[in-house]
Amino acid sequence: MLATPKPHWSGAAIVRAIGVRLPVPIAIDTDVNAAALAENRFGAAKGCTSAVYITIGTGVGGGALVHGVPIHGMLHPEIGHLRLRRLSGDRFSGACPFHGDCIEGLISGPTLAARFARHPATVDPTDPAWKPVVADLAELLVAMLLAYSPQRIVMGGGVVLKQPHLLNAAIAAVPERLVGYLGDITMENLGAIIVPASLGDDAGPYGALVVAEGVARR
């Protein structure tokens, strides 16, 4: 495990720890890649050849699939640490310990609690305090559309699934940010492209099974 804000996990030798207990082939991937695989096999991205899964909870993470295979390069996509265009006038400095106002530092669950000075679930959906959060999420959705050209963007995590008004408002703000650049992206079809996750808390465990199936086949 590389550097992470999650306590005591930086530097953890995960594969070695599993290998000394289970003498079987071992595959490792990110939680969001596993969830992307699960949603692609069983859930909201079923039948898609290209898809992005994004979770917004204690952090922000994302996995991208091309022809059903997660993208890996030097490492893996660090979608949560993108630094995107901010809403003019938003003075919130961000809460990411590494980058401050990257997207994780702007819209993750703990970040929203810091923004609002209370739990986001207690903030009325019509409260103007949501405006910069909607703008930040819309920027992330636009970045995913432009970078990966996915057939489906699946949104998971407690922040989105427990506050559906946030995703709906962000989707509505996407066309004005694209300013007509992607002609096929309209309000009429955005609702079919950007969708809530359908597997909920089961996405991770199901995804782990898909990853295990892959290494077993090999």
Residues 94-105: tens digit of each pLDDT: 999 889 999 999
Distance (Å) of CA 175 to CA 66, 68, 136? 24, 27, 14
Task: State the chain's maximal CA–CA distance in angstroms.
Answer: 56
What's the CATH code, domain 30-217? 3.30.420.40
Q: How confident is the model at residue 83 (pLDDT cuts 50, 70, 90)?
A: very high
Instruction: Over range 153-174, report the average pLDDT.
Output: 94
Q: Could you give the percent of the chain with pLDDT greater than 70? A: 100
For the chain, helix, strand, coil in percent to 5 are: 45, 10, 40
pLDDT at 33 over 80: yes
* pLDDT value of residue 23: 87
In which element (H, E) is residue 35 found? Answer: helix 31-42
**pLDDT exceeds cutoff 80 at 55:** yes
Give dist(CA 194, CA 206) in Å, integer.
21
Predicted model pTM: 0.91
Is the pLDDT at 166 greater than 90, yes or no?
yes
Q: Can you tell me the mean pLDDT for 159-175?
A: 94
Would strands 50-56 and 152-156 be described as parallel, antiparallel, or unpaired? parallel
Backbone angles phi, psi at 90, to 5 degrees: -75, 115
Which whole number is the average pLDDT over 59-76? 92
Average pLDDT over residues 100-124: 95
DSSP 8-state assignment for residue 178 = H
